Amino acid sequence: MLKKIFLPTILVFLAYGFWISPDFKEISAGVAIFLFGMLSLEEGFKVFSGGTLEKILKKSTNKLYKSIGFGAVVTSIMQSSSLVSVLTISFLGAGLIGLSQGIGIIFGANIGTTTGAWLVAGLGLKVKISAYAMPMLVFGVILIFQKSKSVKGIGYILTGLGFLFLGIHYMKDGFEAFKSTIDLSSFAVSGFKGLIIYAGIGVFATVVMQSSHATLVLIITALSVGQITYENALALAIGANVGTTITAIIGSMSSNIDGKRLAAAHLIFNSVTGFIAILFIHQLIVVVDFTSNVIGIANDDYSLKLAVFHTIFNLIGVLVMIPFVDKLVIFLENTIKTKDLKKKDSYDSVRYFNESALAFPETSLVAIVKESKHLYENAFEIIAHGLNLKKSNIVSSMNIDDVIKEEYSNEIVDIDECYNRKIKGIYGEIIDFSTKAQSKMPPYYIEELYKLKHANRDIVEAVKDTKHLQKNLIKYSASSNSYIKKEYDFIKAGLAELLRNINIIATTDEEDVLLLVLSKSKVHIEKYDLIANGKLDELIRNNLVSNEMATSLMNDSAYAYDISKNLISMAETIFVDARSDMKELKQDMKISEDEIDSLLNKRKDL
Amino acid sequence: MKFIKFIDSVKSFLGLENFEKSTKEKSIKKLLEKLKAKKKIATDSLKTNHNEKEMALLQEELEIISKQIKKGKKLLKLLKSE
């Protein structure tokens, strides 16, 4: 209900404001142009974030100090802590970074955002920035119409900056005129009460405008023309810092649980920082005055002093919160939990997909890789139980002959039912997410996406083939004919070994182990070719198995061959190729088909 | 100048192309060392093992390792000649 009336109320309020005050109209137009500039800037940065930005992010956030530095630098460049926090949520949602790294970036973003105050206070109000805005807009728009994506991106950035400067110009003009009509300083309330009221106004203004930068510009311009007192401006800046978390909160709504935790961390951090600043406001003012004197800011230059205050109180906030990052993570994990895990036997669904992960090609790919691994986990369970093997035995160091002797259950596992519960839904979601991601991807990523889709299809095929294989495997594993039993045990042992090898491939960090296991698995597939290795011929010729058994064995060997081939191909894509260091090494060192043939021929000759 | 071209020119200015090559050389050398150690273990096991099935598996492993060592050496030679 509240949601429905919020927008019309704001629109009516604005329309009324425009009607009664042309100055209010100018200020609002300035804010609108400023925000439009930010949208354009965001669009421009998105062009350059197709790969380079993500790679930098990955490497720059592995330590807390690095992530704080990264957040500070990127926010200084982008001039939007909201954009950086939303970006961070999208990376977190895709599992590219952890919650503590995300929190580090948010801390850094709060430091980086202070450069905005310096820019506006130091440059924005002293230089006639509208003079720079016009050429930027003209050049920017011309570049936007160019074909090259990079040039287009630069165009958006220039246009964005142009609009930002133009917006500041209009706001400044509006406040200059406003000064003669209404004296905001008459509303000033002194003391702690005044601080709380103005901090609240700062929160409200930032929530409405969705930009602490815009609020800060308003504060500095209002302060520069004497509409508000210095103390009120400080309280407004504190409020703006808390209000800016609204963008991250909105951004986290479509994100996964970690994204929500990050947004909560952002709110906690900014609220604590604001609380400290309000509590120690007089001490802070002394520090600001001292710092301003040291760096040569005039005593009456309140705009620049506000920038100093903004920087100091954010720095203090970061310094106070750093020792509590781990505790904050634990607190968030305990308080913001995923909805009750579905019952063991219920339908499984995707874990890593969310709208924010779709924002960038690399985050989409990471999310798909993670979800593919999730799908494989389920497939591994179904295949193992379908073959009546215990998962724990397969991944142990137990002798494979013993693994196949120990049965999982006396009852036959219904693979169809398992498929519907644990594969079908997730696979559908993966395909759906991939299709959405593909529409936003440059060609370079599409090839990789195609391979991932193929790997998921391999998983599904392997489960389906296990279903076909299961019936005879269960039947002949208990057969009184020792020859056919031996052949089916061989198939079962081969598949158990393959599942074990894939588990090694998925978990090892040793390149030599990975290469060896991968090559061995490829060689072992060929042993299912019963016609080529003469086994079937031998069994039939010596009347060791019936015709029916022979046909079943031939078909089931083909199923085992397909399962192995599909699973190895899948493992290469999601467990090896997804790791850039291993991918190249695998390509350089992999054993070719001819070499596998020569190895097998050698064995036959022995 | 296009963004990728700009990155390439920065890379060549900082000599990062050679850095990539030398990193690759190092990782192959490291891998070769590990493979050689594995080959020695497999050869020793083959001498002491008398189980026919296990011997066949060890023999197969040894052949795969030998092929990979050969590939690694060839690759290293190629990288050095570049």
pLDDT of residue A563: 92
Strand partners, A407: A389
Q: How far is CA A334 from the centre of its chain?
A: 21
Q: Where are the domains of chain B?
A: 24-81
User: A197: exposed, middle or buried (C-beta count within 10 Å: 0-12, 13-18, 19+)?
Assistant: middle
Cβ atoms A224, A125 nearer than 8 A? yes
Chain A closest CA to B26's CA: distance in Å? 12
Residues of chain A with pLDDT under 70: 1-3, 42, 45-58, 83, 93-96, 122-130, 172, 175-190, 208-211, 247, 251, 254-255, 338-346, 530-532, 580-581, 601-606
Tell me if chain A has a CB within 8 Å of the CB of B11.
no
Cα separations in angstroms, A238 against A233, A329, B18 = 9, 24, 50
Contact residues, chain B, for A153 at CB < 8 Å: 3
From the list B61, B67, B75, which residue is nearest A588 (CB)? Answer: B75
Q: What's A407's DSSP letter?
A: B
State the CB neighbour count (10 A cutoff) for residue A416.
12
Q: How far is CA A411 from the centre of its chain?
A: 42
Q: What percent of chain A has pLDDT over 70?
A: 85
- What are the pLDDT digits (tens) for B13-72? 666 566 667 777 888 888 889 889 989 988 888 888 778 878 888 888 888 888 889 888
Cα maximum dimension of chain A: 110
pLDDT of residue A522: 84
H/E stretch holding A75 reads: helix A64-78
Is residue B38 helix, strand or coil?
A: helix
Type of residue numbered A372 = S
From the list A510, A515, A603, which residue is nearest B68 (CB)? Answer: A515
CA angle centred on A566, ends A565 and A570, rounded to 5°? 120
Phi, psi of A252 (to 5 degrees): -80, -15
Contact residues, chain A, for B35 at CB < 8 Å: 512
State the CB neighbour count (10 A cutoff) for residue A134.
12
Task: State whether A516 and B34 contact (CB < 8 Å).
Answer: no
Tell me if chain A has a CB within 8 Å of the CB of B10.
no
pLDDT of residue A175: 67
From the list A153, A588, A599, which residue is nearest B60 (CB)? Answer: A599
Task: State whether B64 and A523 contact (CB < 8 Å).
Answer: yes
pTM attached to this predicted model: 0.57
ipTM at complex level: 0.77
Type of residue numbered A485 = K
Task: State whether B65 and A516 contact (CB < 8 Å).
Answer: yes
Residues 211-240 of A with CB under 8 A from B: none
Q: How far is CA A391 from the centre of its chain?
A: 31
Task: State whether A595 and B2 contact (CB < 8 Å).
Answer: no
Cβ atoms A235, A72 nearer than 8 A? no
Tell me if chain B has a CB within 8 Å of the CB of A597.
no
Query: A332-356: buried (b, 16+ CB within 10 Å) or exposed (e) per residue?
Result: beeeeeeeeeeeeeeebebbbbbeb
- How far, in Å, CA of A234 to CA of A282, rounded? 11
Q: How far is CA A336 from the centre of its chain?
A: 18
Tell me if chain A has a CB within 8 Å of the CB of B31.
yes
Residue matched to tokens 């192995």? A564
Chain A closest CA to B14's CA: distance in Å? 17
Query: Which ranges in A508-534 belong to alpha helices (H)?
Result: 511-525
Task: State whether A520 and B61 contact (CB < 8 Å).
Answer: yes
Task: State whether A591 and B72 contact (CB < 8 Å).
Answer: no
Tell me if chain A has a CB within 8 Å of the CB of B79.
no
- How far, in Å, CA of A467 to CA of A415, rounded? 6
Torsion of CA A544, A548, A550, A555, to 10 degrees: -160
Contact residues, chain B, for A516 at CB < 8 Å: 38, 61, 64-65, 68
Type of residue numbered A17 = G
Strand partners, A389: A407
